[in-house]
Amino acid sequence: MAYAHAQQDSDDFQDREEKYRDDPLKVLKRFFDSEGFDMEFVYEESGAGHTHKWMCSIELPVDTAAGQSLSASATTSGSKKDAQTLCALNACRTLDMHGVLFRSANEARKKAKNLADNDFYDSDEDTYLDRTGQIEKNRENRRLRALVSCSCSFCCYIFCKALTPF
């Protein structure tokens, strides 16, 4: 019985993967647009000759239940475009596994409202001991996501414009 359930989950994942396997950049771009973020890839080049490689990574506009931001990366010995396409495919797979790649815009707004209602600043997120600055970065990302999804009344509009980095 458990095997049959696992087989069905695998078949569902393969069916969903067919939606983005052919053009992962297009699907990922659509996802970023629906979330209200720009898609920005980061590239690193290493090696020369036979050892030449491109590494591409992207930070995804989704947090895990623990408040960590998600990212995807890929390394190829091919071209920069190959690295970008493979990174986009990995990002689509990650978002699909978290169940957010194909959710509707209404669900995205509802989730943003729930995040705004909840307290982001858990006692486990103590900035005193964090020397990497990751906690502050995660807080700022969550704050910006909450502002992007708000409906912006006039007084909120002024507050949003003051915090939006444009």
Strands (E), the chain: 41-46, 53-63, 69-76
What does pLDDT average to over the chain? 75
Alpha-carbon separation of residue 124 from 129, 132, 157 (angstroms): 10, 15, 31
Alpha carbon 162 to chain centroid distance?
Answer: 24
Helix ranges restricted to H, 46-130: 80-97, 105-117
Above pLDDT 90, what percent of the chain? 26
Q: According to the model, what pLDDT value does residue 126 have?
A: 64
Q: Between 3.90.440.10, 3.30.2130.10, 3.30.160.20, 1.20.1250.20, what CATH number should domain 1-103 receive?
A: 3.30.160.20
Q: According to the model, what pLDDT value does residue 3 have?
A: 44
Where in the chain is CATH 3.30.160.20?
Answer: 1-103
